[in-house]
Structure 1
Amino acid sequence: MPPATKTKQLIEFKGTTLPVVVISLRSLHPGEVAEAASTLFGDDPFFDGDASVLELSAVGEASSAKWLLLKEVLRAHGLHVIGVRGGSDELRESAAKAGLPTYAAAERSPRIPAGSETDAAPTPPAPAPVVESPEEAAPPPATPSPAAPGAAAPAPTLFVTRPLRSGQQLYARGGDLVVLAAVNSGAEVIADGSIHIYAPLHGRALAGASGSAEARIFCTHFDAQLVSVAGLYRTFDGGVPPELAGKAVQIRLTEKPGEPAGKLVVEPLKTD
């Protein structure tokens, strides 16, 4: 008796985890979003067609938006908007009519490698680009947490030993970035984790590009054009303040009670 032929299934379901960039917006005006995105990422595509979800919880009482224009603005920077989360019922219904479904706003703690001393507080949604001034504040309390068994290993740290010229851009996707040479004016360094620059920073540095509020920027000679952590940024078009110029600094986010988006702090780095 010939063996029975096994029918090949036409559809198979498999569980997986895909990277999605969460973009927290405080405005739904395409022109304002375009200007803020250009300040952060320049005029060239920054992302590589990454899927993205728009976080709408901070846009106020808006009930509709020009979704197709917003999608085109973000597509110009390499982001493919696949849906929304948060916001009012009317706003989500408006997005659904434009083909953008609603996703659950569940947060997960960042992955921490075993033995790490890094704080593992839940990461808030990446805030929209907002210019902030440095101010002294205590960092938010967090409870250290070991990595869960079997957690995926983090991306390795990317090391750069050559100077970056104007127009060059470097992105440490999924991990930290260590730069051992100058970042010249017009150059840009980006990391999903923290950025360490043991040389002059004359260009732009963007840490926590995927939304990590725990990311920081460390620099031994500060003369930046722009710095950003998790979407909050500060520009120095008029020059770096004298108390920071040429000094070793750190750039971080801090939170105050009742201020979920936090503040961007640029402060001298104490090395003694």
Structure 2
Amino acid sequence: MSKSPFQKPIEIKISTVVAVSAILHTSDGIALDAALKGMTGGVPDFFEGDLAVIDVGDLAPGCERIDWASTIALLKKYRLNPVAVRNARPDMIDEIASLGLSLDTGKRDDTPAAAPAPAAPAPEPVAPPPAPALTPGANGADKAATLIIDTPVRAGQRIYARGGDLIVMAVVNNGAEIIADGSIHVYNTLNGRALAGASGDANARIFALAMAPELVSIAGVYRTFEDGFPAEQARQPAQIRLNGDKLDIQSVNSATRA
């Protein structure tokens, strides 16, 4: 069957792409390797090929030069795929570009990225996430809103609520991934992976009527459940919240924590 003569050879549409931030506090490859090994706990598919933005804004001023090729290879070893660098200094730009990475001009703070700093810059507020996701059929479509999903989230699916909360009314299956810049609410069984506070909101939480996730994260702090979810909260109504640098599990019916 011949194709319609009006069919375009290519179409460009807005799509939601999620990337994790790999925030470097050192350029020491050995230290980075050890930290990633400890973070992933030896789980080979911990990141599952996630896109990554390398953030160098927190590097100490006097640290050694970054070996970009080795750093990229190290992240790929742990199944992170670097696509861009954030907060790059001007002297880094040529080497970054030669390795095929983009320059992310977004800012986590007031530090200028990829350009010389002007004298005495005025403080700037942190910019909100671009192009917030809107709830299908929600009122007030001109503002960031809660994204509501009524159908099951199947293995291999990834859903991202940019700039707001995510509500899932059906089951989240094993192998699925749900992500929100705000909190996540699952009014059914939560299997798979759930990542709340994806843009750094440490106050975000994960709620589910039946908890059974493979992995959870809030503001970049991860916890995996290779040995199963804690028995006292497994498949029970529960919430997960960030407490300092660790994730706590709390029943929604009591103050008991795991």
Give the secondary-structure state (helix, strand or coil) at the position aligned to 2:87.
strand
Do 2:85 and 2:104's aligned partners in 1 also have CA atoms closer than 8 Å? Answer: no
In structure 2, the partner of 1:234 is 223
In structure 2, the partner of 1:25 is 24
In 1, Cα distance between the equivalents of 2:208 and 2:127? 24
Do 2:22 and 2:54's aligned partners in 1 also have CA atoms closer than 8 Å? Answer: yes
In 2, Cα distance between the equivalents of 1:99 and 1:180? 43
Letter in 2 for 1:25: L
In structure 1, the partner of 2:184 is 195
Residues 1:80 and 2:78 aligned together: no
Do 1:71 and 1:80's aligned partners in 2 also have CA atoms closer than 8 Å? Answer: no
In structure 1, the partner of 2:64 is 63
> RCO (CA 8 Å, sep 6+): is it higher in 1 or 2?
1
- Give the 3 Å change call, closer, same or farther, for CA 249–98 of structure 1 in structure 2: same
Residues 1:223 and 2:212 aligned together: yes
In structure 1, the partner of 2:168 is 179
Residues 1:206 and 2:184 aligned together: no
In structure 2, the partner of 1:265 is 248
What is the Cα deviation at residue 180 of structure 1?
0.8
Letter in 2 for 1:268: S
RMSD of aligned Cα (Å)? 4.1
What is the Cα deviation at residue 84 of structure 1?
3.1
What TM-score does the superposition give when structure 1 sets the normalisation length? 0.57
- Give the 3 Å change call, closer, same or farther, for CA 59–240 of structure 1 in structure 2: farther
Do 1:25 and 1:59's aligned partners in 2 also have CA atoms closer than 8 Å? Answer: no
> 1:3-42 counterparts in 2 under 5 A?
23-25=22-24, 28=27, 29=29, 36=40, 41-42=47-48
In 2, Cα distance between the equivalents of 1:186 and 1:102? 30
Count the aligned residue pairs.
197
Percentage of pairs with the same residue: 36
CA deviation profile, 1:232-257 (whole Å, cap 9, x unmatched): 000000111112212222112233xx
Q: Which moved more, 1:222-231 or 1:204-213?
A: 204-213
In 2, Cα distance between the equivalents of 1:244 and 1:61? 47
In 2, Cα distance between the equivalents of 1:239 and 1:185? 13
- Give the one of 168, 177, 195 matched to 2:157: 168
Tell me, which stretches of 5 or more residues in structure 2 are unaligned? 1-18, 98-102, 111-123, 129-141
Do 1:178 and 1:196's aligned partners in 2 also have CA atoms closer than 8 Å? Answer: yes
Letter in 1 for 2:158: Q
Do 1:154 and 1:174's aligned partners in 2 also have CA atoms closer than 8 Å? Answer: no
CA deviation profile, 1:95-140 (whole Å, cap 9, x unmatched): 46734899884284686xxxxxxxxxxxxxxxxxxxxxxxxxxxxx
In 2, Cα distance between the equivalents of 1:61 and 1:253? 32
Q: Which moved more, 1:101-110 or 1:242-251?
A: 101-110
In 1, Cα distance between the equivalents of 2:46 and 2:64? 27
Q: Which moved more, 1:94-103 or 1:209-218?
A: 94-103
What TM-score does the superposition give when structure 2 sets the normalisation length? 0.59
Do 2:68 and 2:96's aligned partners in 1 also have CA atoms closer than 8 Å? Answer: no
In 1, Cα distance between the equivalents of 2:153 and 2:222? 21
CA deviation profile, 1:67-108 (whole Å, cap 9, x unmatched): 23445747x8675323437xxxxxx69846734899884284
Do 2:207 and 2:239's aligned partners in 1 also have CA atoms closer than 8 Å? Answer: yes
- Give the 3 Å change call, closer, same or farther, for CA 102–182 of structure 1 in structure 2: closer
Tell me, which stretches of 5 or more residues in structure 1 are unaligned? 1-19, 86-91, 112-152, 256-261
